[in-house]
Chains A and B, each alone.
Chain A
Amino acid sequence: MLDFRHFRQIRLLAILIVAFLGFGAVPLAAALTPNSAASHIDWLGREATRLLSTSGTSVAAREAAVGRLIRQGFQIDFIARFALGRAWRSATPEQRGEYQRLFTLYVVKTYARRLGGYSGETLRVTGVRKAGRRDMLVDSVIERPNNQPIRIGWRLREFAGQPKIIDVTVEGVSMAVTQRQEFATVLRNGGMNGLLQLLRARTQRLGVQAR
């Protein structure tokens, strides 16, 4: 489950996700090639370092800004459908719409709120390879002061001429597959309504309070 069991991976993922801040600011390659995929991930690593070291704004403001960019950098509707598996077919149109909305909120909130506390970590692309007919897998490591490096893999696919992330692996563990497994458990227990309730619970939680 994303929220608790994989918190360390998610925090690191968020650091990388933040790098998508820059995707809108650089010209995107017309087609997804090994070079364009690698250079985007390499560039986002550097941009992440720059953005995360920026101070002077509140945590909530930074996370809100990052949230908007996560929506741009990830193909969230694709990830959402994958996470739901076969249940997508039997869901009503209303349930599908609500699920897409809640899943997006959940993913954006989960990743965005993990950016704080980042310091001195840098991303280095170590390789890139084709995966199937449509995807590129970019291998990278996060190098951390006084800690072991962590291997992060990025699966990219082209949507409407833009590279989008459709999965992230941390030390070989796919976040999309992990999510799908957790959702399968919830669907067995409570069906589609149970899953929607879980996502509502995760997205309606309140943050720290000053008084």
Chain B
Amino acid sequence: MTVMRKVLFFLPVLMFLTALFANARAEENPFAMGWQAYQQGDFVTARKYWQPLAEGGNALAQYNMGVLYAEGRGVPADRARAMAWWRQAAKGGYLAASHNLALALIEEASLKGNRAAAAEALRLLRRAADGGLVRSQYSLAQMYAYGLGVERNDAIARRLLEKAAVSGLAAAQYNLAKFLRDGRGGPRDLAAAAAWFEKAALQGHVRAQSRLAVRYARGEGVRRDPVTALAWATLAAGEGEELAAENVKALRRSLSPAAIAAADAKAARLRDRIAASRKML
């Protein structure tokens, strides 16, 4: 028997055994069973697996129970219960729970004018951001950038955006690019702005694609390149971005048929690249 034949013979056996063991492991792991049910859209079953774990003190299960209640999945939506689960998970040090609890408190503050809730939200977000939770760094940056619940401070906002952007959060990359473009919270840096717009654009961030098109059209922070500008504007316009749609019209009027064809081809390549990177996530 050749090596290839041996491989072909044993492969199905190996696959069967792998599946068997994987299933056995899932049976032993109620959290995984809950996860599997959740991904199948069976939220009632997910809750049945997670609730006992949560009641037993598992912070991750407590956090997920909070999400189920917040979103009304498998249970009637109930913000108070969601917050109670997140509060328990946050006490257990689970940062995503601090984050969601903070946002729920901000909702309370907005709806009821509750200042104490806003202050607690800020403490929780700071804790999660300091602990390295990228989403909290971004949320906190937004609060400082707009002066919401805190005194507006562009320098702090920019530092937080830098942290979140480096971690790969497209929204943070886009906002950091705007800060760099406009010189908010630090010196203006058009090259860095264009680079961050591009990173976000390549993750499919539509407004970043639109703003990047403008950079290329004007040659700000990058070498002027109307073909690349049209490619990015085309992608953003396709997602309903109005500024990009206007720029597509203007660029198409000013470019030759050959340049337009090159831009369309480039847009198609960029679309494929973005789709491929999304599949890898």
Contacts and interface: CB of A to CB of B under 8 A. Distances in A.
B96 A197 contact: no
Contact of A113 (B64, B71, B74, B109): B71
Nearest to A197: B148
Interface string B57-98: 000100110011011111011110000000000000000100
Contact of A197 (B67, B99, B106, B112): B106
Nearest to B66: A208
A197 B64 contact: no
Interface string A189-211: 11001111110111011111111
Interface residues of B, number: 45
B104 interface: yes
Contacts of B49: none
Interface residues of A, number: 41
A113 B73 CA distance: 9
B135 A204 contact: yes
Contacts of B67: 206-208
Interface stretch (A1-9, A36-44, A163-171, A172-180): A1-9
10 contacts: A3-B77, A3-B79, A8-B72, A8-B76, A59-B41, A117-B43, A189-B110, A198-B106, A205-B103, A205-B104
A211 B63 CA distance: 10
Interface in B124-145: 135, 138-139, 142-143
A117 B104 contact: no
Given A189-B111, A204-B103, A118 B41 contact: yes
A154 to B, nearest CB: 22
A185 interface: yes
A186 B110 contact: yes
Contacts of A190: 109-110, 113
A204 B139 contact: yes
Contacts of B76: 7-8
B73 A202 contact: no
Interface string A47-68: 0000000010011001000000
A59 to B, nearest CB: 6
A124 interface: no
A209 B43 contact: no
B220 interface: no
B135 A208 contact: no
Interface in A127-154: none
A8 to B, nearest CB: 7
Contacts of A201: 103-104, 106-107, 110
A71 interface: yes
Given A116-B43, A197-B143, A210-B35, 5 more contacts: A3-B77, A186-B111, A200-B139, A204-B139, A205-B99
Given A3-B79, A4-B78, A55-B40, A202 B113 contact: no
A196 to B, nearest CB: 7
The 9 closest A-B pairs by CB, nearest first: A7-B77, A116-B41, A7-B72, A198-B110, A201-B106, A189-B113, A201-B103, A208-B64, A197-B148
